[in-house]
Structure 1
Amino acid sequence: MAIRNVVVSDLSGKPDAAAVTFGLGDTWYEVDLTPEEQKGLEDALESYLKVSRKAAVSPAAKKRLVPETTAEERDRIRAWGKENGYEFAERGRIPKTLQKAYDEAHGIDGRKQR
């Protein structure tokens, strides 16, 4: 059995579309367009494209998710980790494996991230 994925245009709903990515300001957009619609977008932007230059695009920085904990709770997690044979640095970020094990052992589910 074959499975066929068909990408349709976000504008017209016509098949055989492809994703087109473009940016404006600090925001990037993606839209599925047929070849004809993509040509129409390029034509609409032609006067701007003629006088513009390509910008160096830096990848978005990964957003670090840090569990919401107090200093006291972090001390308890470290103490629990030592008692249970976990190896980790005395300072700095608590390893995810230790955080997860502590949460599971203490019935903490869905800790908020900040």
Structure 2
Amino acid sequence: MAIRSVVESDLSGEPDAATATFGLGDTWYEVDLTTEERKKLEEALKPYLKAGRKAGEPTPKKRVVPETTAEERDKIREWAKGKGLEFADRGRIPKKVMKAYDEAHGIDRSK
């Protein structure tokens, strides 16, 4: 003896439906839809899906790291120490120090 299960559309009551899951706000929904009904739902949501992003995916941050050589970084540190700016002897040079150095030397790193 075989047992057959038929899923009906929650909208039209037609057979051969499948469950579609979607979320809005903090609430998730499930609805049983036929293939045609699912296409209509996807079409209605298309502009929102195109403009949105998947939840849990962080917005990529644009990391701006000035391209400098080791020699140039040494010059920047020496210049900044001479100006009395205090920061670590090692590691990343603070943005405010880089900006001050660039302004003092007419350097534009935005290119």
TM-score normalized with structure 1 length: 0.48
With CA pairs under 8 Å and 6+ residues apart, which has the higher RCO, 1 or 2? Answer: 1
| Greater gyration radius | 2
